[in-house]
Each structure stands twice: as structure tokens, then as C-alpha cells.
Amino acid sequence: TMSFTLHILPGALYTRRVLIYLHEKNLFQSPFLTISPPLPTKPTATPSPSSNPNNTNLPPAPAPKIPKPKGPLPCLTTPDGTTIHDSLAIITYLEDLCDATQSLTHPPSSPTTEQNRNRETHLHLHPSSQKSNITITTKATPTMRGHTAEERARNGEIVNLVDEATTFFELAARNGSAMFALLRRQDLRVSKAALGDCRKVLMKVNVYYLDGGRFDDLKSKERAAESVIGTGNATVTIADIVLFALLEFAEKMYGVDLMEGLDGLRGLYERFKGRESAGVE
């Protein structure tokens, strides 16, 4: 049986990114996905009134512990044995599979030459895992990177900024948190400077989330309404997930409010934490 195995470090920031993504993408119940170690609980966040009462998007049933490959976590092992260690690389890989196989199973009525070429290339590159890929994406939600080239570029821009902010925050934590005092020599000046750099980057991100939208300058007001993150059927992007994971981690793990004075980020955080995916641990 061809399957994907996700090796995680429970409670870690980068693991949170992937788990929230899997829930939002509706991949938790795929029979081709195993999470090791198994998640102990199902999501606990209160679903919104508009949520599907028959939702079965819960963590997979417990499975025997699987030896993890060498390297950092999270790590995704693909059906052919390939290992992917970076959280954003894992998310991008799964998103690529979903986008490609959804176009294979639901091709446009009048495909362009490029779309035909993309499908032929995918079939050529993934002949042995085609069945598994299609099955894992049967119930997946639509693309989480944007529907247009401009939206996908904006999503990538925000993801890169948040990843930069995350690097600065980690540097601040390692040099200024008692949690690392026994592991390394602390340097409060470095910690303070890194935290300041983190906030400078987040100030740039904040602009995109003012008034709840991050594509408002790229599309019509009708489409812009879809980018207001709530607890219903809003369009969630990978950028939203990566940003929420950082804001939550800083607050819950270190007691640091990265949203102070940044109303756009505060709004995203308050709305996102009510989603079912935020309850995945």
C-alpha cells in the first residue's frame, strides 16, 4: 500500500504549521496519510454555526509508532521513500499534488495548451504514485495559494515575510529566554535587537491584513469579501496559517505579544483561533 507518513514533534512551531494546513486542506482523514506519533486528541475549538455538522475531518486513528528518519522534524516520507524535512517544503509539496491531481480529475472544459502540458508532465513524473496522489486529494479543499497569478505572488510574499519574522523571533528566544539558559550563553542585546527586527517585518505584513483582507488591491470587492478570515467558509491561505502559527507560538510559549499595535495581525489572530484547525494539537 502506498502511503505518506508525517513525522512530527508535538507542540513545535513548524509542526503546528503543517497540522493546521492538513486540517484546513481536509487531508486528515486520508487513508494514505499516517501521522507519527499519533495525535492524542481531535480538534477542540468550537465550530462556527456555518460549519458542516457532518464534518468528519478529524485526526487519523492511532497507529503504531513508526521509526523516524534522520533529520529535523516535521518530516514527510512520500510513497517512493523521499523525505521532505522543511515545513514550508512539505506544505508546498502537498499543495502541488492537490493542485495537479485536482486538475487531472477535474480538467477544465476547454484546457489551454499549458494546462494540457502540465497534466502530461505530472503523469510522466509521477506514474507510480498517481493513484495514491489522486486518492489523497479526492476531498481536498481548493488551492490555498490564490486563484490568480497575482494572488499566488501575494501569498508567497507574505509567507516569505512571516518566515523571516520567525527566524528573528527564534534568534530572540534563544538569546533571551530562560528556556535556553542551560543550553547556550544568553545575549540580551542580541535578543532585543532580533525581536525589534521581527516586529519591523511584521509591520510590513500587518498592512496586508488591515480591514481583514490581504488581496483587496488585487481583486473586486466581491472577491475581496472572501479574504476576510472568519470561522465559516472563508478562503484561508497558506500565508494565513504560517502567520497564525507564529503569533500563537510567541504568545503561548513565550508570553510575547507580537501583535501589539498591529491591528491587522490582531484581527487575523482573533478570527483564526476560532477555527476548528486551531484546535489541532
Domain boundary among 136, 164, 189: 136
246 in the same domain as 160:
yes
- Alpha helix segments (H runs only) across the chain: 13-25, 87-105, 113-125, 130-136, 149-176, 188-209, 221-224, 238-254, 263-272
Q: Distance between CA 90 and CA 73 in Å, rounded?
A: 11
If one counts the domains in the chain, the total is: 2
Q: Which residue has the higher pLDDT, 221 or 83?
A: 83
Q: Distance between CA 244 and CA 262 in Å, rounded?
A: 14
Say if 265 falls within a structural domain: yes
Q: Note whether 229 and 236 are within 8 A (CB).
A: yes
Domain boundary among 104, 136, 168: 136
80 in the same domain as 17:
yes
Say if 266 falls within a structural domain: yes
Is 232's pLDDT higher than 50? no
Cell 472544459 -> residue: 109
169 in the same domain as 243:
yes
Say if 144 falls within a structural domain: no
Residue 235's region, left for phi above 0, alpha for psi from -120 to 50, else beta, is: beta
Q: What is the pLDDT of residue 70?
A: 84
131 in the same domain as 8:
yes
Say if 48 falls within a structural domain: yes
Say if 253 falls within a structural domain: yes
Q: What is the pLDDT of residue 189?
A: 95
Domain encompassing residue 89: 4-136
Q: What is the pLDDT of residue 182?
A: 64
Rounded mean pLDDT, 74-89: 94
Classified as helix, coil or strand, 6 is strand
245 in the same domain as 166:
yes
Q: Alpha-carbon dihedral of residues 203, 206, 207, 213, nearest 10 degrees?
A: 170
Q: What is the pLDDT of residues 14-25, one digit of tens each?
A: 999 999 999 999
Is 140's pLDDT higher than 90? no
Say if 141 falls within a structural domain: no
Q: Distance between CA 75 and CA 96 in Å, rounded?
A: 17
117 in the same domain as 35:
yes
Q: What is the DSSP string of 199-262?
A: HHHHHHHHHHHGGG-SSTTTS-HHHHGGGS--SSS----HHHHHHHHHHHHHHHHH---TTTT-
Please tell me what DSSP assigns to residue 58.
Answer: -
CATH number of the domain bearing residue 271 = 1.20.1050
Q: Note whether 242 and 157 are within 8 A (CB).
A: no
Which grid cell sits at 66?
Answer: 513508526
Say if 143 falls within a structural domain: no
Burial letters 38-50, b for 16+ CB under 10 A, else e: bbeeebeeebeee
CA gyration radius, the chain: 19
154 in the same domain as 131:
no
List 229's β-bridge partners, or say none.
Answer: none
114 in the same domain as 159:
no
105 in the same domain as 23:
yes
Which grid cell sits at 264?
Answer: 491587522
Domain boundary among 95, 110, 136: 136
Say if 121 falls within a structural domain: yes
Is 139's pLDDT higher than 90? no
169 in the same domain as 71:
no
Mean pLDDT of the chain: 78
Q: What is the pLDDT of residue 221?
A: 41
Q: What is the pLDDT of residue 281?
A: 77
171 in the same domain as 72:
no
Sign of CA dihedral 14, 15, 17, 21: positive
168 in the same domain as 118:
no
Q: What is the pLDDT of residue 151?
A: 87
Read off the pTM.
0.78
Cis ω before 43 (30° cut-off from 0):
no
Q: Note whether 101 and 25 are within 8 A (CB).
A: no
